Structure 1
Amino acid sequence: MSTTNRGQLATSGNSNGSQNKNNDENAESIIPTVPVKPIGIAKNVSNGKYVFPDIKKEDIWNARMFLKYYGVRDFLDKFLPNELNSLYLYFLIKLLGFESKDRLLVKLVQENVEEKIMPGFEYTYTSIDDPLEKKYTIRLIKDLQKAMNKILSTRMRLLNFYTIDHFATRLLRAKNIIVLTGAGVSTSLGIPDFRSSEGFYSQIKHLGLDDPQDVFNYEIFMKDPSIFYSIANMVLPAKHNWSLLHSFIAMLSQKGKLLRNYTQNIDNLEAYAGIPKAKLVQCHGSFATASCVTCHWSLPGEKIFDNIKRVELPLCPHCYKKRKQLMTAFKRRQEGIIESHDEDDWDPKMDESTIKSYGVLKPDITFFGEALPSKFHRSLKEDISKCDMLICIGTSLKVAPVSEIVNMVPARAPQILINRAPVKHAIFDLSLLGFCDGIAALVTKKCGWEIEHSDWKTYANKNYQLEEREKGTYDVITSA
């Protein structure tokens, strides 16, 4: 068989024609194209050398998306012919955007491949003899597996979703939005975030902890709860006061678009703003309730707010008497004074760390060292496959497992970041950088909606300018 055209990647439209047409009309088609036929590598009959098909950026994107969208089995079935040699494996690795690190292998491939089809020569696509030794085939199989695993574990940016108009258009028809929120959604209320230069952790360096995060370490709390309560007032929620951004999420719920709000915040402001309990997952717990670390008696969190404001330990009334006895007996033992009745109060298993936390009421915040609430895992299992949009707001995505949500949602679901600074270790289709409340107002206006909040008119009447840093990343500048 002779040919004058270099081998190409043959593709066709997806079988769901009506859906593709619909998506194309909205410039948001995200379903990868299915190849008409498997990869074809041409062979020069005269010299035995091969010619690879051309690879464009769009081909790499499509191959990666196909793998993520349809899975490994369909990917290999659609892209590879039934009869192949090791060069097909090498080419498929390149089609996914990778290159083998074995220099000798790459050199051998280059020796057996010519750059393009030469006019006047005869080429065939049916010869399957392998120019490489079996050991290289095994190496290529391993490299291909690594490449596929890398793709499957890494999110890809959607080609046709990169502007705020794309966001607004998709928001209007989305039905199962996951909103992931962090401390940045509450900073407009005077509640500090955690990791910025002026955040909570930078403000508690005076405590002398090896790591400021240790203020939320469960083991340290049990040894000395006064460390946490010396600064707890700094993160105490403002009762029944929430931001425009909180109301934006509540609005999505009212419109039947919110699948779930996964919040890393402990201030319980989402609940105050009216986000239904069924739609809210407080991943790290909250101040909404508190429990005794000894008897596990529970009470509304607001009952200990006065203690927190006075920087004092809130104590369980059911454990108070026993705590007092233990503290007295322990103090006497330290002083070398042991009275007979102290032995009745003393538990030989007790030590100073146990006594300090005995009967202390702890907000039901998930400290480092504690398991996340079961609702987090249960809800995530239900929600991931349903998600049609992920909006991450006011978070640096530094704390697992919540930060892993960005890698779990379907590849077809657009991901948007609303934050003061970019998050470089995650891949978002659209990043809007600025103040959360203002960006929420801008997006709401583009959708033709209004937010029920006392600050709505103030933010709605502001002027907003978008300055592009790079494709899909914008600084949102606010002016009066």
Structure 2
Amino acid sequence: VDFLRNLFSKTLGISGEKVLDELTLEGVASYIQSGKCKNIICMVGAGISTSAGIPDFRSPDTGLYANLQKYNLPYPEAIFQIDYFKKHPEPFFALARELYPGQFKPTVCHYFIKLLKDKGLLKRCYSQNIDTLERVAGLEGEDLIEAHGTFYTSHCVSFMCRKEYDLDWMKEKIFSDDIPKCDKCSNLVKPDIVFFGENLPKRFFTSMAMDFPRCDLLIIMGTSLQVQPFAALVGSCPRLLINLEKAGGADPLLGIISIGGGMDFDSAKAYRDVAHISTCDDGCLALAELLGWKAELEEMVKREHEKINSKAEEEQTNQSSGAAGKAESGKAESGKAESGMAESGMAESGKAESGKAEVE
């Protein structure tokens, strides 16, 4: 066993060296503050967006899959299967209208990741989410690997065309109840989210190969770690899981020799994995407090939410003004038409009077 452990440790780059003073949130905070932790990778799933009002996928009563009966699907996952989508796009776009980006605000957890960026500690955020809230919170393209794609751009599904469309174009189509069709070839246009049956973005794989060997701390939040290959991104560094339940357990066979990517929170050999069982927002606030960042994080959330609310109010005012302007314009046109009709009537009356005079 010792021979196999050493062999696989060298082959896989797993040192087995204990870095954390203790396997607790306090131990993680102490490591971050030590100056040895310079490259943090965050892996996030649907659980970081539930407090924004976006359902996760698998919760028994509130999850997305539990509430799709109204779409008459053969099975819940069909709504995200590419072959089904090409034949029956209506359910997906009806769901997209309910969950469309721009209707929700980033959570405390999203802003905690942004704070890691501001502190110069964030190497990258790998997200399973398609809601674009990481971008709204201030992460940019270079900071972010959207492993399951994004609504940010869309493309024609035809391999011969592949014309690209932006977020505003797709939003207009979805909220006008139109099935988005390509202006060039009339095929369906699909947001660039990864459906079952499609490949993950190439950047996911190229970045993974560069990022994880340099990772000093992996923070995993709001994911069940059940979907591959995302779940395989586990690295060989200290790892913190913030989730409502423990996830990503080690393979029992590989666990015998203390290798493999699975999480090990409780065994006698555990040395690098910490599970903090809570909501993602509460976990981020607790870690921020230990780091002395809590007030800064809360102020960031308040400030950014106020900006989003102000922008939404401004857009609503502009829309109302535009609608009022159209209404006034319509009234003016109607008034002109009525005035024209009246003038025409007076002219016709004048002609009639003139005709009577001539007869007389």
8 Å Cα contact 2:111-2:301 kept in structure 1: no
**How many percent identity over aligned positions?**
35
What is the number of equivalent residue pairs in this alignment?
Answer: 276
What is the correspondence of 1:74-93 to structure 2 with a 5 Å cutoff? none
- The answer for the alignment partner of 2:52 in structure 1 is 189
Question: Does 1:417 find its partner at 2:241?
Answer: yes
Question: Does 1:301 find its partner at 2:167?
Answer: yes
8 Å Cα contact 1:250-1:273 kept in structure 2: yes
Shift of 1:267: 0.8
Task: Quickly say closer, same or farther: Cα 1:311–1:191, change in 2 above 3 A.
Answer: farther
Q: CA–CA distance in 2 between the matches of 1:311 and 1:422?
A: 41
RCO higher in structure (CA 8 A, sep ≥6): 2
Kindly provide the amino acid, as one letter, of the partner of residue 296 in structure 1: R
8 Å Cα contact 1:283-1:402 kept in structure 2: yes
Shift of 1:437: 1.2
Q: CA–CA distance in 1 between the matches of 2:220 and 2:51?
A: 17
TM-score, with structure 1 as normaliser: 0.53
Structure 2 unmatched ranges of 5 or more: 250-261, 266-272, 304-360
- The answer for the alignment partner of 1:312 in structure 2 is 178
8 Å Cα contact 2:180-2:188 kept in structure 1: yes
Cα deviations by residue, 1:114-165 (Å, 9 ceiling, x for unpaired):
xxxxxxxxxxxxxxxxxxxxxxxxxxxxxxxxxxxxxx99x99988541111
- The answer for the alignment partner of 2:286 in structure 1 is 442
Task: Quickly say closer, same or farther: Cα 1:311–1:170, change in 2 above 3 A.
Answer: farther
Which of 134, 149, 156 is the equivalent residue of 1:292? Answer: 156
What is the correspondence of 1:209-220 to structure 2 with a 5 Å cutoff? 209-220=73-84
Q: CA–CA distance in 2 between the matches of 1:258 and 1:159?
A: 19
Q: Secondary structure at the match of 1:230?
A: helix
> Between Structure 1 and Structure 2, whose CA radius of gyration is higher?
1
8 Å Cα contact 1:420-1:434 kept in structure 2: yes
Task: Quickly say closer, same or farther: Cα 1:71–1:224, change in 2 above 3 A.
Answer: closer
Kindly provide the amino acid, as one letter, of the partner of residue 399 in structure 1: V
Q: CA–CA distance in 2 between the matches of 1:302 and 1:67?
A: 53
Which of 153, 176, 186 is the equivalent residue of 2:39? Answer: 176
Cα deviations by residue, 1:62-113 (Å, 9 ceiling, x for unpaired):
88865554349xxxxxxxxxxxxxxxxxxxxxxxxxxxxxxxxxxxxxxxxx
TM-score, with structure 2 as normaliser: 0.70
Shift of 1:318: 2.4
Kindly provide the amino acid, as one letter, of the partner of residue 171 in structure 2: F
8 Å Cα contact 1:231-1:311 kept in structure 2: no
What is the correspondence of 1:198-277 to structure 2 with a 5 Å cutoff? 198-238=62-102, 241-277=105-141
- The answer for the alignment partner of 1:367 in structure 2 is 195
- The answer for the alignment partner of 1:453 in structure 2 is 300
8 Å Cα contact 2:41-2:218 kept in structure 1: yes
- The answer for the alignment partner of 1:57 in structure 2 is none
Q: CA–CA distance in 2 between the matches of 1:194 and 1:231?
A: 13
Going by fraction, where is helix more abundant, 1 or 2? 2
Q: Secondary structure at the match of 1:392?
A: strand
Kindly provide the amino acid, as one letter, of the partner of residue 167 in structure 1: V
Task: Quickly say closer, same or farther: Cα 1:304–1:71, change in 2 above 3 A.
Answer: closer
Question: Does 1:378 find its partner at 2:206?
Answer: yes
Structure 1 unmatched ranges of 5 or more: 1-59, 73-151, 321-358, 457-480
- The answer for the alignment partner of 1:70 in structure 2 is 10
